[in-house]
Amino acid sequence: MSKHIFSVLVQNQPGVLAHIAGMFAARGFNIDSLVVGRTEDPAFSHMVIVSSGDDVTMEQIRKQLGKIVTTVKIRDLSEQKCVERDLMLIRVHCPPERRGELRDLTEVFRASIVDVGPSSVMIQLTGTEDKIEAFVELCRPYGIKQLSRTGVIAVPRASQEREHDGPPAPAARPPRVRQATTSSQETAVPLPPS
């Protein structure tokens, strides 16, 4: 079993997320995390899908994603160097007399305290999954009241860029054809360009 991170560029259309999630559900593939957002071009969205399984399952996921009409490009980021981040907000039980030690812990992890209540503190942390998991384990003795994570986002490192990795070229429109009818057969006649 191995973890794979799929970077999927899709057309920004209603129902794309449901279509992709439905494909995973229909074939019994598990989604560990899924993050989606618009890119610099509002016509496209970028999805980062994390899934675990054997090599055969991961190859099937890649192929099935490629069959979805709205998919523009798929990359398996597990095969290359990339920057990956996860964002977490965690509310920890912390009476005033323990806030100093919790503040020291957040500084070690380069986290930040974003909200303070009478008996709790909310901390924001970004980093790799391993870093976040380690921080969560250290917070357990205080008592975790609430935890929310975004899931992994990832982008290949600059050393992994290739010339063809730029934004996708606009799709060419197929030439319009009108049907001209003769007495014995139909002939396709191209229209002049518009």
Q: What is the pLDDT of residues 81-134, one digit of tens each?
A: 888 899 999 999 999 999 999 999 999 999 999 999 999 999 999 999 999 999
Statement to judge: residues 68 and 91 lie in one domain: no
Q: Count Cβ atoms below 10 Å from residue 154 Cβ, excluding itself.
A: 19
| Bridging pattern class, strands 44-53 and 33-38 | antiparallel
Confidence of residue 185 (pLDDT cuts 50, 70, 90): very low
Check which CATH number belongs to the domain holding 115 and give it: 3.30.70.1150
pTM equals: 0.70
Contact criterion met (CB below 8 Å) for 77 and 8: no
Domain that includes residue 39, residue range: 2-80
SS3 65: helix
- Among 62, 80, 98, the domain-final residue is 80
The total domain count for the chain is: 2
Is residue 117 situated within a structural domain?
yes
Calculate the alpha carbon distances from 17 to 9, 22, 71, 159 in Å.
Answer: 12, 8, 11, 30
Q: What is the pLDDT of residues 45-74, one digit of tens each?
A: 999 999 988 889 899 999 999 998 899 999
- Among 33, 55, 80, the domain-final residue is 80
SS3 100: helix
